[in-house]
Amino acid sequence: MTQNDSESLDEALNCCSSNQFERALAIADQHLSSGPSDEIATQAHRIRGHALMGMGQLDEAIDETNLALQANPNDVETLAFRSLMYRRQGDIDAAERDSGRALEIDPENIQAIGEVAIVALINQDYDRVIDLSTSIIDSNEDALDQMRADAYSWRAQAYLMLGDTSQAASDINMAIRIWPDNSSVYRVIRSDMHMAGDSPSDALDDIEMALTRDQTNPDLLFRKGRTLGALGQYEDAVRFISD
């Protein structure tokens, strides 16, 4: 792969990150039309997958990852990415196969570790979640703050389910501190912890903060109604749950 190829594909990835999906598709298609090497074909199809997923075309995105894996069956990033998409489709068995395969190929790959951790959380394998999350948290890789924050949130949920509420609270607070831009997601998790600890007023504070960023989110509205009910504010609770 030449430097120009790399820079152009990096540009396509940046387009995906900024929701410029049509532009990302155009760049990937340009590479695919010129008889690319297997390495370029793998990356271009994976980028097409990212763009199509961003456009809500999940089946088509999976088709692209299948093409990427035809060019390179052992591409760890593509396997981890396809695992993510299978999870979103609810096919946890397929996600577990892909993420496990990716981790088998490269046991140090952070994306693969993260995918296996999420699948383990879904499968209620909490000890494994803690082990994998801790390996991400302790990693020395640069530019890893977002993944590290997520790892704290996964570990927090695992500790909560295992009854260690103190460690769970410490971990979710760390997630919020590391990645404030994702704090709404982490505050929802923390609100569940407050509810489990019989502190609905603290849970309500977190839900209110999350709602400032997403005022019409039905899950948040339901959670607010549920929390108001726990506080005895039944009329308001019914209104929010109805919304």
Q: How does DSSP classify residue 108? A: T
Strands (E) located in 38-114: none
Q: Which of 46-50, 173-177, 179-183 has the lowest mean pLDDT?
A: 179-183
Which pLDDT band holds residue 118 (cuts at 50, 70, 90)?
very high
Q: Which has the closest alpha carbon to 53: 91, 14, 81, 23?
A: 81
In contact, 153 and 133? CB cutoff 8 Å:
no
Which pLDDT band holds residue 9 (cuts at 50, 70, 90)?
confident
What distance lies between CA 74 and its chain's CA centroid? 22
Instruction: Specify the pLDDT at position 1.
Output: 47
- Output the 3-class SS for 141-200: CCCCHHHHHHHHHHHHHHHHHCCCHHHHHHHHHHHHHHCHHHHHHHHHHHHHHHHHCCCH
Which pLDDT band holds residue 243 (cuts at 50, 70, 90)?
low
CA angle 178, 214, 130 (to 5 degrees): 35
**The model's pTM:** 0.86
**Taking each helix axis from N to C terminus, what angle separates 234-242 and 218-230, rounded to the nearest 10 degrees?**
160
Q: What percent of the chain has pLDDT over 70?
A: 95
Q: What percent of the chain has pLDDT over 90?
A: 77
13 pLDDT exceeds 90? no
Instruction: Specify the pLDDT at position 75.
Output: 95
6 pLDDT exceeds 60? no
Span 205-235, pLDDT tens digits: 999 999 988 888 899 999 999 999 999 999 9
Average pLDDT over residues 195-209: 93
7 pLDDT exceeds 70? no
Q: Which has the closest alpha carbon to 175: 143, 209, 133?
A: 133
Instruction: Specify the pLDDT at position 216.
Output: 86
Average pLDDT over residues 96-108: 96
Instruction: Specify the pLDDT at position 162.
Output: 95
